[in-house]
Chains A and B, each alone.
Chain A
Amino acid sequence: MKSSSPLKWFGSREGLYYLALAFLLVVILPLALDPFRLNMVGKYLTYAFVAIGLVMCWGKAGILSLGQGVFFGLGGYCMAMFLKLEASTPEATAIQSTPGIPDFMDWNQLTELPWFWEPFHSFSFTLIAVIGVPVLLAFVIGFAMFTRRVGGVYFAIITQAIAAILTILIIGQQGYTGGVNGITDLQTLKGWDIRTDEARTTLYFVCVGMLFLCLFAARLVQNRKLGRILVAMNAQEMRVRFSGYDVAAFKIFVFCLAAAFAGIGGAMFTLIVGFMSPSFIGIVASIEMVIFCALGGRLSILGAVYGALLVNAAKSGFSESFPELWPFAMGALFIGVVLAFPNGLAGLYRSYVMPLEDRLFKRSKPEPKTASAPAATKPSAEKADDYDPMITTYSPEKS
């Protein structure tokens, strides 16, 4: 969807929505919040990565994964392993019986670094692994399930089981993984202290940057024919199959895409929060990630970001003022979002706010465009809010 002139796109309604989000994240919040709060927003944003993935995977293609925490965690652990190795220099760990290995290994009588830790000395390898490991696992799962037409509820339950397995495994193998405590006390990234306010603020902006990269990637997929196939698959899988598409391949692709996003989110989480622990892999964490997406509007990648921000902000807010109410609120949220407004905030926005905008900006229905190929595929104002599936207008050749 490389529109003939990007500027024009920014002028479009969709473009404005992206600008608005960017303005909020890059200007307003940093000005309004102290470094501490901003850091918390950064943490919330890392969940938005997962939510975006879920929009593509669940909202569009109808594949509900209750194990996104697994990919989030894997990405996070890859990053954490690198940072931990950097933190455990022989000097820093002199008091250990085996200096130079992470402290928790020493406590568990490991006398040398396990083989699968070795490559994480290299930063470039880590960066690859952050995306590669989650995607690889997603591919294996996806291939096994989708080529056998496993879907819907079954898929959800199995992903859930996988989350359970990984959690128990990590906790049980604490010599290699740090166990329940996770991998903690991470200090520097290539010698750069990530604990200072400056670093945290920088990381926040890096996180926002990455987030927009993922947003645009997701948007690209969604606006290409690929995105249309995904939605079509969700509604009429049979028809898509008999239109000559290998449905499984598309499902595997989108599942891997979601996993990649989650992995990036996890890595950012590790950098921003300063450690990684199994509690983000587990079932509860994974299901909460789904609600971020559901609240934002399961079809809207922008909505997903707002969903993640709002739910988490609310969570912190509640737990500071009246803690015991939070679970009730959360529960009500799950039920309400499903029963009352299945299209989440994006849906509400579309049905209540956009009409106002239309009146305000006098946006008329899409003005016909010339059928030069790019123009024909360019989103009309109608679909521009990025929520609507994919109505692209076509207009006849005659000029």
Chain B
Amino acid sequence: MFDGYTSSELMSIFAMQGFAGLSLFSVFVLMAMGLAIIFGQMGVINMAHGEFMILGAYTTYLTSGFFQSYLPGLFGGYFFFAIILAFLICAVLGALVEWLMIRHLYHRPLDTLLATWGLSLIMQQAYRSIFGAREVGVDLPEWMMGAFQVTDLVELPINGLFVMIIALSIAVAVYLLMYRSGWGKNVRAVVQNRSMAEAVGINSAGIDRATFALGCGIAGIAGAAFTMIGSTGPSSGQAYIVDTFLVVVFGGAQSLIGTIISAFGISQAQSTMEFFLSGSMAKVLTLLVVVGILMLRPEGLMALKVRR
């Protein structure tokens, strides 16, 4: 399968594929972070996660439109504004959903799965009615276009790098929030022993809402980032949901580090295989491997052994 490539070409192949893998990796991280928080910390399966993401994308789309028509001068910087907006809108909606729906279902994880699936159907159709069924094109400021020429073969697309930066900063932020902040301590307290946490005066209901909102907010940021590399349409979100769930489960639901590691592993594996196999087969193989490993090691990569 290496035939037809010179060694130097192979070098740059792996360099470029490595990078391709990295951008896939950042996509996974962006999606998985929010999911990992919600699923890992609260045991809630949010099938509408993809739709929250697309909400963020549409927010970005509207913001760019707004800047183009009213503040063309600032267009270059609209994106940062859009990210914040996307986060806020999704977080608020998330909190609302938690209050109306999720909180009634904490003891029935499988049912949250169905309910959020229903939610995703509704959100999709809402997008279709509001923005039309066709994907919307989001214009990017010029400076995000183009790529750094490294060698004649190896080029690093700027927006790819940008997405990567967003992904990593979010990962770091989440890590700090979860493991270095008082709030994070409360969250983990609630995860480990709800009643005890309540006993020591932690408002577990509030924690739940905040956690869910945070997860959705991050999905929103993911959506904003995706407008640069992906498509923004009513059903674009669903394309990612299965992969992302696998990433989270594969990483070992409880551990954010695990999520990142598995995101990295899966994305690199897939992009490398994509180069030598057809896109479809690469995808099938990746999924098969992941499922296979999960069958052998259900607890995922980084699960902690707890005294049951």
Partner of A145, one of B45, B288, B295: B295
Interchain CB contact under 8 A, B109 and A327: no
Interchain CB contact under 8 A, B298 and A64: no
CB distance from B82 to the nearest CB of A (A): 27
Q: Name the B residues within 8 Å of A336 (CB-CB).
A: 118
Partner of A331, one of B110, B111, B118: B118
Given contacts A148-B295, A335-B119, A338-B111, contact A156 B284 (CB under 8 A): no
Does B101 interact with chain A (Cβ within 8 Å)?
yes
Does A70 interact with chain B (Cβ within 8 Å)?
no
Does B305 interact with chain A (Cβ within 8 Å)?
no
Interchain CB contact under 8 A, B295 and A335: no
In the bound assembly, the distance between CA atoms of A336 and B112 in angstroms comes to 12
Residue-wise, chain A 270-291 has the 8 Å CB interface mask toward B (1 for contact) of: 0000000000000110010011
Interchain CB contact under 8 A, B128 and A333: no
In chain B, residues 103-135, which have Cβ atoms closer than 8 Å to a Cβ of chain A? 104-105, 108-115, 117-122, 124-125, 128-129
Given contacts A153-B45, A339-B104, contact A327 B121 (CB under 8 A): yes
Count of chain B residues near A, Cβ 8 A:
42
Q: Name the A residues within 8 Å of B121 (CB-CB).
A: 327-328, 330-331, 334
Interchain CB contact under 8 A, B288 and A331: no
Interchain CB contact under 8 A, A161 and B119: no
Does B157 interact with chain A (Cβ within 8 Å)?
no
Interchain CB contact under 8 A, B105 and A145: no
Given contacts A164-B287, A335-B119, A339-B101, contact A172 B281 (CB under 8 A): yes
Residue-wise, chain B 25-41 has the 8 Å CB interface mask toward A (1 for contact) of: 00000000000000100
Interchain CB contact under 8 A, B249 and A290: no
With both beta carbons as reference points, the residue of chain A lying nearest to B285 in the complex is identified as A165
CB distance from A330 to the nearest CB of B (A): 5
Does A294 interact with chain B (Cβ within 8 Å)?
yes
Partner of B45, one of A144, A156, A164, A165: A156
With both beta carbons as reference points, the residue of chain A lying nearest to B44 in the complex is identified as A153
Interchain CB contact under 8 A, B283 and A334: no
Partner of A334, one of B117, B242, B249, B287: B117
Does A168 interact with chain B (Cβ within 8 Å)?
yes
In the bound assembly, the distance between CA atoms of A186 and B43 in angstroms comes to 46
Interchain CB contact under 8 A, A154 and B298: yes
Residue-wise, chain A 150-194 has the 8 Å CB interface mask toward B (1 for contact) of: 101110111011101100110110000000000000000000000
In chain A, residues 311-350, which have Cβ atoms closer than 8 Å to a Cβ of chain B? 324, 327-328, 330-339, 342
In the bound assembly, the distance between CA atoms of A334 and B28 in angstroms comes to 28
Interchain CB contact under 8 A, B278 and A172: yes
Residue-wise, chain A 87-121 has the 8 Å CB interface mask toward B (1 for contact) of: 00000000000000000000000000000000000
Partner of B283, one of A58, A64, A168: A168
With both beta carbons as reference points, the residue of chain B lying nearest to A64 in the complex is identified as B110
Q: Name the B residues within 8 Å of A239 (CB-CB).
A: none
Residue-wise, chain B 264-308 has the 8 Å CB interface mask toward A (1 for contact) of: 000000000000001011011001101100111010000000000
Interchain CB contact under 8 A, B298 and A148: yes
CB distance from B190 to the nearest CB of A (A): 19
Does B245 interact with chain A (Cβ within 8 Å)?
yes
Most buried by B among A58, A62, A145, A172: A172
Given contacts A162-B291, A328-B122, A331-B118, contact A157 B128 (CB under 8 A): no
In the bound assembly, the distance between CA atoms of A339 and B114 in angstroms comes to 10
Interchain CB contact under 8 A, A165 and B291: yes
Does A149 interact with chain B (Cβ within 8 Å)?
yes
Interchain CB contact under 8 A, A330 and B118: yes
In the bound assembly, the distance between CA atoms of A161 and B244 in angstroms comes to 10
Q: Name the A residues within 8 Å of B284 (CB-CB).
A: 165, 168-169, 172
Given contacts A164-B287, A327-B122, A332-B122, contact A157 B278 (CB under 8 A): no
Partner of B249, one of A66, A157, A165, A338: A157
Interchain CB contact under 8 A, B101 and A335: yes
Does B224 interact with chain A (Cβ within 8 Å)?
no
Interchain CB contact under 8 A, B280 and A331: no
Does B246 interact with chain A (Cβ within 8 Å)?
yes
Given contacts A154-B249, A334-B117, contact A172 B280 (CB under 8 A): yes
Interchain CB contact under 8 A, A331 and B114: no
CB distance from B273 to the nearest CB of A (A): 13
In the bound assembly, the distance between CA atoms of A149 and B119 in angstroms comes to 30
Interchain CB contact under 8 A, B242 and A332: no
Interchain CB contact under 8 A, A283 and B111: no
CB distance from A247 to the nearest CB of B (A): 15
Interchain CB contact under 8 A, A165 and B295: no
Interchain CB contact under 8 A, A153 and B111: no
Interchain CB contact under 8 A, B105 and A338: yes
Interchain CB contact under 8 A, B118 and A335: yes
In chain B, residues 29-61, which have Cβ atoms closer than 8 Å to a Cβ of chain A? 39, 43, 45
In the bound assembly, the distance between CA atoms of A334 and B121 in angstroms comes to 9
Most buried by A among B112, B121, B283: B121
Interchain CB contact under 8 A, B281 and A339: no
CB distance from B243 to the nearest CB of A (A): 8
With both beta carbons as reference points, the residue of chain B lying nearest to A283 in the complex is identified as B242
Most buried by B among A144, A145, A294: A144
CB distance from A323 to the nearest CB of B (A): 10
Interchain CB contact under 8 A, B119 and A331: yes
In the bound assembly, the distance between CA atoms of A150 and B253 in angstroms comes to 13
Residue-wise, chain A 25-58 has the 8 Å CB interface mask toward B (1 for contact) of: 0000000000000000000000000000000001
In the bound assembly, the distance between CA atoms of A130 and B198 in angstroms comes to 53
In chain B, residues 79-107, which have Cβ atoms closer than 8 Å to a Cβ of chain A? 101, 104-105
Interchain CB contact under 8 A, B118 and A333: yes
Q: Name the B residues within 8 Å of A153 (CB-CB).
A: 39, 43, 45, 109-110, 113
10 A-B residue pairs with CB within 8 Å: A148-B296, A149-B298, A153-B113, A156-B45, A156-B110, A157-B245, A157-B249, A169-B280, A335-B101, A338-B114
Q: Which 8 A-B pairs have the closest CB atoms?
A: A334-B118, A331-B122, A331-B121, A172-B280, A327-B125, A144-B295, A150-B298, A335-B118
Give chain A's interface residues, CB within 8 Å of chain B: 58, 62, 64, 66, 144-145, 148-150, 152-154, 156-158, 160-162, 164-165, 168-169, 171-172, 283-284, 287, 290-291, 294, 324, 327-328, 330-339, 342
Give chain B's interface residues, CB within 8 Å of chain A: 39, 43, 45, 101, 104-105, 108-115, 117-122, 124-125, 128-129, 238, 242, 245-246, 249, 278, 280-281, 283-284, 287-288, 290-291, 294-296, 298
